[in-house]
Every structure is written in structure tokens, then in C-alpha cells.
Amino acid sequence: MGETDKGSLRAAALHLDRHRGHIEREVDERLGRTGPAPAARAEIVRRFRSFSRLASLDWDAARPSFDGLSGNTAAALESTIGAAVDAAAGLTHANEIREALAVLSDRFRAGIRRAFQTRDDEPQKRRRNTKRRPNAGRRVRSAIDRISDSYIALCLDTGTIYDLNPAAENLLGSDPQELLGREIEEFIAADEMSEFRSLTARLDAGEDTPPMHMKLKRLTGESVPVEMTVANHTIGGRRLAIFSARERAELDQHTAPYSTRTTSAGGILATRESTARST
């Protein structure tokens, strides 16, 4: 895929992010009582946004993720994506964005048909006893799609932000076009830099790391204390560290120091359990 095509995909992905609220409302209005339930509609549209961001960065590695959506039919999911793309196309006069949206939609909808064909063709009893084994890339995207807190995918080879969700955009205080591809150290508080570099060195060596407290820094310079967990993943040959972060409550800011020390054993256990439930 040429650089021009990548630029169009990137513009389409940013367009979907920028107008996500309007698009979701438009999907609800268009589908009404038909198709998936509102929560499922919002989820599949969010999956499409996540897929579009990944596809704009690495077309060959990007794969749609449908884990947790098996209660819907392929036709219902396709109609939801069709409505979302129509709504997004109606918000721009740029032909390159419209064409890129169509390309992304075609690939995503083809993924829906492939994923649901085997399930629909199998007997019900066999389906209950069959567990699909997603590849490494789909496991990453499934984990990302299920995270309710902020997530940031860091490319360990370059030290740059590979992907992030809307919650992370709010946490860092900027739009995705300002964040994707930037060095992660731009968002680490100065007094945490040494510990953060030690952390990335351990991640680079493949070591597991426990949950921790750390201070991030918005582009405005404002310091943001967070609770954070990290996991290593590989997608399309690219080594990633997935950071799941939650901004600490105002009360915690006055009752606990901000450091990269781990939480208590109970806190670690609770975090690991919640992470397990989310993935």
C-alpha cells in the first residue's frame, strides 16, 4: 500500500474518531429498533474505529476483532457498520476520505462474514464445544477493545505511541493526530523519567511488571497521577507494551505518594483479577 493510500486511511481513521459521537447517534436513528441492541451497536462501531486506526498504521497486520459479539448475526453487524460509514461519509466532502472509509468498511465487513460463517454453519452443540483460537494480533485488539480505562500501545522498538483509545486522548489532553507517532517520554513527568526508562528496559527484555503508580504529563505540562498496569504483546512482528491507566482520585493525591512502587498485595491481586475479567 502506497504512502498516499496510507495518508487517506489515516485521515479516515481520524475522521471517525473526531465525529464518533455524531456517528453513533446517527446509527441509532437510522437503525431504530432493528439490528443489534444499542450497546452492541456502540461496541461494533468502536471496534471499527479501533480497526481503522490500526489499519492506517499497518494495513497488513490489522484484523477486525469480534470477540464477545457472537450473540449478533453477521447481517446485523454489517448493517450497523454500513450505517456508521454512511453517517461518516455524510460529514465530509473529501473524496479521498470517503473512498478510504469504503475500503475500510469492505475489509471489516468481509471479516464479519468470515468470522461468523463457520459459527453459523456448525451444529449448535458443536458450536458450544468449539473454542476459537485467535491469533496474536486479534488477542491484542480484543484486549484493547475490552479495556474500559485509558490504554496506550507503545512500540518498544521506536519508543513511540502506536495506538490509543479515546479515554487516553482525554488523559493526555490532545487529539489522536497530535499523539500517534510521538515519543512516549514526552508524556512522562521529569521526576519519573529514570524509573520509566528502567520500566521500558525491563519490558524490552520481556520481563513482567507489576501494577504501579506513576505521573504522566499532558501536552499542556499538567501532571496527572495514574495507576497503571503494563503487558507485553506482539502484533505483525511489532513489539508493543500495552499500558492500561486510570487517573487517581483527588483524595488519593493527598493520601499516597506518587512513585513507581507497587501497590499492596491486595491491590495487585484486585488489579490482576480485573484485568483478567476485562480480557
Q: What is the 3-state secondary structure (H, E, C) of 205-260?
A: CCCCCCCEEEEEECCCCCEEEEEEEEEEEEECCEEEEEEEEEECCHHHHHHCCCCC
Give yes or no for residue 16 having a pLDDT over 80.
Answer: yes
pLDDT category at 140 given cuts 50, 70, 90 is low
Mean pLDDT of 180-196: 89
Beta-bridge mates of residue 214? 226
pLDDT at 88: 96
Domain co-membership, 217 together with 106: no
Which of 57-61, 79-83, 182-186, 219-223 has the weakest average pLDDT? Answer: 57-61
Indicate if 202 and 236 belong to the same structural domain: yes
Question: What are residue 183's phi and psi, to 5 degrees?
Answer: -70, 135
Per-residue pLDDT band for 253 (boundaries 50, 70, 90) equals: very low
Q: Please state the domain count of the chain.
A: 2
Average pLDDT over residues 238-252: 74
The rounded distance, in Å, linking the Cα atoms of 205 and 143 is: 22
Indicate which CATH number applies to the domain containing 9. 1.10.490
Last residue of a domain, one of 132, 162, 196: 132
167 with 118, same domain: the answer is no
Instruction: Report long-range pairs for 72-78 (Cβ below 8 Å, ≥24 apart).
Output: 72/36, 72/40, 72/44, 73/116, 74/112, 74/113, 74/115, 74/116, 74/117, 74/120, 76/35, 76/36, 77/36, 77/44, 77/112, 77/116, 78/109, 78/112, 78/113
Residue 17: domain span = 3-132
- My answer on whether 103 and 122 are in the same domain is yes
How far is CA 251 from each of CA 62, 212, 256, rounded to the nearest angstrom? 40, 18, 9
Query: Which of 188-192, 207-211, 226-230, 253-257 has the weakest average pLDDT?
Result: 253-257
pLDDT digit string (tens) for 77-92? 999 999 999 999 999 9
Pair 104, 236 in one domain: no
In a shared domain, residues 111 and 152: no
Residue 94 — pLDDT band, cuts 50, 70, 90? very high
Does residue 269 sit in the same domain as residue 145?
Answer: yes
User: Order of strands, edge to edge, in the sheet holding 238-247?
Assistant: 160-164, 150-155, 238-247, 223-235, 212-217
Which domain CATH number covers 196? 3.30.450.20
Pick the last residue of a domain from 111, 132, 153.
132
Higher pLDDT, 140 or 11: 11
In this prediction, residue 131 carries a pLDDT of 44
> In whole numbers, what is the pLDDT of the chain averaged over residues?
76
Q: Is-contact 215 261, C-beta < 8 A? A: no
- Residues 100, 161: one domain? no
Q: Quote the pLDDT of residue 279.
A: 40
Together in a domain, 148 and 128: no
Do 163 and 235 belong together in one domain? yes
Q: Is a pLDDT exceeding 50 seen at residue 262?
A: no
Same domain, 154 and 114: no
Same domain for 8 and 27: yes
In whole angstroms, what is the distance from residue 176 CA to residue 163 CA? 9
Out of 132, 152, 172, pick the residue that ends a domain: 132
State what percent of residues in the chain have pLDDT above 90: 19
Fill in the amino acid letter for 29. E
